[in-house]
């Protein structure tokens, strides 16, 4: 006989909040909650020779996705994968160097390199392992909490494809916007076409909401962000009316008016952006997500609790509680728990 689970305490609280509906408290989850912080994750990860093999094993990816839901009681799951699966699917292979980060043995330099990349549905078809992980997770979640799908924003993926990894200055990626703007647009369009096909498949496989991570947004001057980032974010948002969307553009406080005009429901904020500043620029219609400094979670419990409550008060209604960037790998689990529990015990009166 099938096990009968108790009904969820807050069915789809997260989706009600993302739709802009009034909720009794803000929902809470953490960027990068899947992987990194949980001992269960490290144990699971130890069974794989490398990160990529793990990511490409749907059962394991589903398990890593479920761990924070089971262990921390967050209000949403985010599929365990990486933004770099897109360059790989387009034909640009990467390696994940243990405790350092990604490295691309070959980078994009010229028109021939861009021409050689696959794009759109053809490239997205190579990501079947992500779709399978979503299907398994969705089944195992059994409606407990919604499932977030994601992709890197085109500018951030472009930056990785040109730099070959992280960078202090992003000068190779930024340089191309001035020296070869047509080529830059050509590559950004190919990334965008692939991302749209990919996210469509994610929704078809069970993703309830989609988040775009523009991790390197803050590296661009405002005019460049408007020319080389916003139009591609717009294309993606417009192409996916079937699911609510979150745009998280780290460091792009200067672009909040533009982001406020995108057809997305939620705007993610980093910890440098005061909630009132964001509300005034992104507009009344958006739900705001964020933005506690991830370093606050190293503080004593009373301070985490006070800062979290103050954050909720500053945002007011139409807020999804989160950190201002991904949770750091060495964050004490107890700090994470205090953050989650403080939000969950909050009650708007």
Q: Which residues bind ligand CP3 (CB under 6 A)?
A: 31-36, 45, 51, 78, 80-84, 96, 101-102, 150, 166, 213, 215, 326
The DSSP result for 11-34, as a single string, is: TTHHHHHHTT---SS--B--TT-S
Residues 6+ apart with CB under 8 A from 221: none
The nearer residue to ligand CP3, 35 or 335, going by C-beta atoms, is 35
The nearer residue to ligand CP3, 28 or 279, going by C-beta atoms, is 28
Active-site choice (41, 131, 160, 198)? 160
Look up 226 and say whether it is catalytic. Answer: no
Look up 138 and say whether it is catalytic. Answer: no
Active-site choice (82, 193, 208, 214)? 82
Burial of 239 (0-12, 13-18, 19+ CB in 10 A): middle
Look up 45 and say whether it is catalytic. Answer: yes
* Residue 174 CA, distance from chain mean position: 23
Using left for φ > 0, alpha for ψ between -120 and 50, and beta otherwise, residue 302 falls in alpha
Angle (nearest 5°) at CA 233 between 228 and 234: 105
Active-site choice (16, 45, 135, 337)? 45
Return the closest-CA partner of residue 35 out of 5, 72, 67: 67
Residues 6+ apart with CB under 8 A from 192: 154, 232, 235, 236
The nearer residue to ligand CP3, 13 or 249, going by C-beta atoms, is 249
Look up 36 and say whether it is catalytic. Answer: yes
Task: State the nearest-atom distance from the C-beta of 4 to ligand CP3, in Å.
Answer: 30
Task: State the nearest-atom distance from the C-beta of 226 to ligand CP3, in Å.
Answer: 21
The nearer residue to ligand CP3, 44 or 311, going by C-beta atoms, is 44
Task: State the nearest-atom distance from the C-beta of 41 to ligand CP3, in Å.
Answer: 7
Look up 126 and say whether it is catalytic. Answer: no
Burial of 86 (0-12, 13-18, 19+ CB in 10 A): buried
Task: State the nearest-atom distance from the C-beta of 252 to ligand CP3, in Å.
Answer: 12
Task: State the nearest-atom distance from the C-beta of 127 to ligand CP3, in Å.
Answer: 14
Active site positions, annotated:
32, 36, 45, 82, 160
């Amino acid at each position: 006989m099938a096990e009968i689970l108790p009904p969820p305490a807050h069915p789809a609280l997260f989706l009600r909040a993302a739709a802009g509906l009034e909720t009794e408290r803000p929902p809470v989850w953490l960027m990068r909650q899947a992987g990194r912080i949980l001992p269960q994750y490290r144990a699971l990860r130890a069974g794989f020779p490398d990160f990529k093999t793990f990511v490409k094993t749907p059962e394991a990816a589903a398990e890593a996705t479920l761990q924070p839901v089971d262990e921390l009681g967050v209000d949403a799951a985010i599929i365990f994968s990486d933004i770099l699966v897109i360059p790989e699917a387009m034909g640009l292979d990467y390696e994940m160097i243990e405790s350092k980060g990604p490295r691309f043995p070959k980078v994009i330099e010229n028109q021939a390199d861009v021409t050689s990349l696959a794009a759109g549905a053809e490239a997205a078809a190579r990501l079947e392992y992500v779709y399978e992980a979503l299907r398994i997770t969705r089944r195992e979640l059994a409606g407990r909490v919604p499932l977030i799908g994601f992709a890197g924003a085109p500018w951030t993926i472009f930056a990785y494809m040109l730099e070959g990894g992280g960078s202090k200055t992003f000068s190779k990626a930024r340089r191309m916007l001035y020296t070869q703007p047509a080529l830059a647009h050509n590559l950004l369009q190919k990334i965008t076409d692939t991302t749209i096909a990919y996210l469509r498949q994610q929704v078809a496989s069970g993703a309830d909401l989609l988040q775009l991570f523009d991790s390197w947004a803050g590296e661009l001057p405002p005019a460049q962000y408007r020319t080389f980032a916003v139009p591609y974010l717009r294309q993606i948002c417009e192409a996916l009316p079937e699911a609510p969307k979150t745009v998280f553009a780290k460091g792009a406080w200067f672009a909040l008016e533009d982001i406020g005009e995108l057809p997305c429901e939620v705007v993610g904020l980093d910890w440098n952006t005061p909630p009132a500043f964001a509300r005034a620029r992104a507009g009344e219609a958006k739900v705001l997500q964020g933005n506690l400094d991830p370093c606050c979670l190293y503080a004593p419990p009373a301070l985490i609790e006070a800062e979290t409550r103050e954050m909720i008060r500053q945002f007011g209604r139409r807020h999804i509680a989160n950190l201002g960037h991904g949770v750091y790998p060495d964050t004490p689990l107890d700090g994470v728990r205090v953050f989650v529990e403080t939000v969950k015990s909050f009650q708007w009166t």
